[in-house]
Amino acid sequence: MPAEPAASVASQTGAATAAAARAPTAATPAAQSGSDAPIELSLSWRSSTTRLIVIYGALFVVWSAVLIGVVHWETRSYLSTVVDQILEQRAHYFATLERERLPEAMKAASAIDLQGVMAYGLFMPDGRYLSGNLRRPPQGLPSDGRVRLLAHGIERRDRDGEFPARALALYLPSGELMVLARGTNVIEQVGLILRQSLLWALSLTLIPGLIGGYLLSRGPLRRVRAIEAAVQPIMQGQLDARLPVSRRRDELDLLATIVNTMLAELEHLMGEVKGVCDNIAHDLRTPLTRLRAQLHRLRTQTAPADARAATIERCIDDVDALLARFAALLRISEMEDLRRRAGFGHVDLAATVRELQELYAPLAEDKDVQLQIEIEEALPAIPADRELLFEAISNLLSNAVKFTPPGGAIRMRLRPYDGGAKLCVVDSGPGIPPGEREAVLQRFYRSDCMRHLPGSGLGLSIVSAIMRLHGFRLEIGESEHGGARVSLYCVPRDLSGAA
């Protein structure tokens, strides 16, 4: 596109969106990288199947622990009851023996205790040892004949150290203190076996379950990624694209079918609305063109001194503005239809930026605004439509020149970026509130503080449509001087799926 027509289009369609060019941050809807970006299932644990396996495993662990805990408690209670009954029976037997036979009976009982789980002791009322294999009476054990668990264990004369035990103590009719104890090693061993059984059960259940969950999640994860890939063309504006549906007819297929039905209806409705808008814009251009021709003829027939000449001139300007708006609407519609990609070629973005700098330098100089460019070397050629990129940058420069106050500055910075190029148009204008940074990309949107200025609110809509057509990204940020920083990320990518 020649420089002069580009400047004309920029001045006519980009005027009302100059406030938008000063928005601190924004991104095209099709290329946003923020919160609206699709969730990427890059890890298998994010899948629903794996999460269900994990939840099931956690519930299994909790339930197994409760079950083993109940079994352990019941078993311990039962074994403790058996130990208590044995001790009570032995105590009753020894208490019925004659005093002279008691030491020999305790000695005989110790001899037949091959496992050494029983302990006996006979002591004076003051605690002095008389007979048995206990060193001393256990501390804190009441002499009421009831069995109790010893917190500190017992000390035997034939062994070193203390041993956990249950014991009872009672005074004989002769006045001596008799102590009977039985070790709880069997009870502890049963508890250890139960705990080990729990660990084995968990390992033999959870490990195969996790492996199976991982294998089961791979299939649905591949299908979700296929759906994610199919969504990309739709995000680029290709509403005739559809989500893949398998033969399984499961939940994912049901969801894909619902979405495909919605897309079909949306495509139909959007086509009708777009067709009506395009027809209106196209059909009104003919009568407006005729009206302008008649007004032009009337102006030529009116003397310059006639008061009606100024009115006719204003009418011609208004008609020109309407024609420019209709032309911009049709241009946006054409780019949203993705019909311009066939004409893509390799564009030297540095040469395009230099040409635009030469084109807008006189306009900036007339307004006492500095226009500078900063271009880094080794910039790659960009696969794009040169005329459309020229128009997009031209709109941005037109807005920057219009809204930069006298004495301000505009800078275009071009540098390599991720295999492509990044172009920033930075100015020292007023900027706009953060809440309007995405709204300025909509058609006919104009900031309240800029409504007194002429324009149509289509300039940045055209820029946004051009960026979407190329698969590029547009961001509107705040410059270091408080003005606008409009960044174009011209990074090539595969558009075959959306073409």
Q: Quote the tokens at residue 196.
A: 């080990």
Q: Is 297 helix (H, G, I), strand (E, B) or coil?
A: helix
pLDDT of residue 168: 92
Separation between Cα atoms, residue 414 and residue 216, nearest integer Å: 49
Q: Where in the chain is the domain with CATH 1.10.287.130?
A: 262-337
Q: How far is CA 224 from CA 218, 219, 220, in A?
A: 10, 9, 6
- Are the C-beta atoms of residues 489 and 467 closer than 8 Å to each other? no
CATH class of the region 1-30+340-499: alpha beta
In single-letter form, the type of residue at position 456 comes to S
- Beta strand 409-417 with 370-375 is parallel
Q: Where in the chain is the domain with CATH 3.30.565.10?
A: 1-30+340-499
Burial grade of 180 (CB within 10 A; 0-12, 13-18, 19 or more)? buried
* CATH of the domain spanning 262-337: 1.10.287.130
What averages of pLDDT result for each successive group of 10 residues across the chain (499 residues)?
37 35 36 40 55 77 83 86 88 86 85 80 88 86 88 80 85 89 82 82 75 73 83 77 84 86 83 66 71 80 81 82 68 57 77 90 90 86 85 87 88 89 87 65 57 57 80 82 84 57
